[in-house]
Copies of this chain bind each other. A is one copy, B any other.
Amino acid sequence: MFRSFFEQHYSLKETTWQQVISLFSPATLDKNSFFIREGEIARTMAFLESGIVRGFYRKDNGEEYNKVLFSAPSFFGDYASLISGRPALFSQQALTDARIWVADYRQFTRLYDTCPDLERFSRKWAESIFVQKEQREIELALFDATHRYLNFRKAYPEAEQQIPQYHIASWLGISPTQLSRIRRKLTAS
């Protein structure tokens, strides 16, 4: 199962793992269905076993910005809402049919008191998603859209075939028009 992925930053004791895994139950997310909608308070964390999920923000004018793409295998969920207990600023939606594992976040955090290794795990986990965010920040700040698109193709080689280009464009922070222009230039050369 997803144990090796789960423990990539820190290995849990067997007894802790058993308790953790018992919190997760399998589920499916049909294409276009939502895992969480903006305004809801996140209660569950999830593991994406197959498929692609986007996290997006809807601007005042109705336009959407794809803040994050999750491509299996990956954890997902609105961490900010889980952590803070405040309503989600983002929605998360499946872009393909997806198989997932879902767990209640409160039940998970309740284990911290009896399983210090799980708290350590979560510290390392939080540290690592912070570092990831920092890397995305650098990308957006320092590279132009062409460069980001090439990076995207390396990072998500399969995703490009599976989701519409306008979602990719949105994640890159550009319009579909501009992505099309970039693609034309790249194939021309």
Contacts and interface: CB of A to CB of B under 8 A. Distances in A.
Interface of A: 57, 59, 65, 67, 79-80, 83-84, 89, 112, 116, 119-120, 122-123, 126-131, 133-134, 136-138, 140-142, 173
A131 to B, nearest CB: 5
Which A-B residue pairs are the 5 nearest by beta carbons?
A: A126-B126, A123-B123, A133-B133, A130-B130, A83-B127
Contacts of A65: 141-142
**Chain A residues touching B, majority SS:** helix
> How many identical chains are in the complex?
2
A79 B138 contact: no
Contacts of A112: 120
A141 B173 contact: yes
Given A65-B142, A140-B141, A131 B83 contact: yes
Nearest to A83: B127
B79 A137 contact: no
Nearest to A59: B142
A133 B135 CA distance: 11
Contacts of A123: 119, 122-123, 126
A131 B84 CA distance: 9
A162 B120 CA distance: 40
A133 B142 contact: no
Contacts of A129: 130
